[in-house]
Amino acid sequence: MSKLAGKTAIITGAARGIGAAAARLFAAEGANLMLADLLAEPLKALAAEIGPQAATCITDVTDEASVRNLVEQAMARFGQVDVALLNAGIEGALAHPTEYDTATFDKVIAVNVRGVFLGLKYVMKAMEANGGSIVITSSTAGIRGVPGMSAYIASKHAAIGLMRSAAMDGAPNKIRVNTVNPSPIDTAMMASLENMHGVAGRNDRPLAKATPLGRYGEPEEVARMMLFLASEDSSFCTGGVYMVDGGVSGGRR
């Protein structure tokens, strides 16, 4: 039987990368989908690719009314919310704290922290009656430091803190909450980070070689962990930090 048959999943940051990979996998496993992003055209194309089980909602995860509308739209369309993948995120800039632009810092925190908080606020309310599973995208940056990325590091640590608190608050209503923590994944965000580090376009991909497995992960590899946490295969898992990192959290090569 399909792992998400009869379930409805909200996915933020769904237009590309990990979010899009999760959308395709969740759809293949029988889920109805409410796909959310600010990138209207790729979001529309993804929904068309998936078919009638996918709906879209242009959503600014930093705006409370927008997030509330997303959950209301999911409830109106499908009648329930069983799974939420709070995946929207941005990388910010690469700079020493003394040189980091304050407006950029605020934007990273708004998307990566406030966006998760607002998702939890409205999704947990929708799940109170029947329970559900919430999966938050953190990062290996949520458990360690990286030079020059103070906003991103702070935001991904905060995402884990929000998850741990929400897991305790949600448990009485059978709402499970976990994070998935990828290492560098071969997405547009990784291309942006390569550009920041001045290694974009290099065939040797030095940032990939810093991973013990010697490569970037693929979005589909992260999506498979998300599917595990979204499904009843993980029915006794809540409050957990799940690494999908090619060995990065165990040490460097």
Report the pLDDT value the prediction gives residue 68, as an integer from 0 to 100.
98
Report the pLDDT value the prediction gives residue 186, as an integer from 0 to 100.
85
Report the pLDDT value the prediction gives residue 228, as an integer from 0 to 100.
98
Active-site residue flag, 242? no
8-182+220-244: what CATH class? alpha beta
Q: Of 4-13, 79-88, 97-106, 194-203, which range is least confident?
A: 194-203
- From the candidates 122, 152, 216, 242, give the one annotated as an active-site residue: 152
pLDDT in tens, 159-211: 999 999 999 999 999 999 999 999 989 876 666 666 665 655 545 667 777 78
Residues forming CATH 3.40.50.720 domain(s) in the chain: 8-182+220-244
pLDDT in tens, 89-114: 999 999 999 999 999 999 999 999 99
What is the arithmetic mean of pLDDT over 33-55?
98
pLDDT in tens, 116-131: 999 999 999 999 999 9
pTM: 0.93
pLDDT in tens, 136-156: 999 999 999 989 999 999 999
Backbone angles phi, psi at 93, to 5 degrees: -120, 170
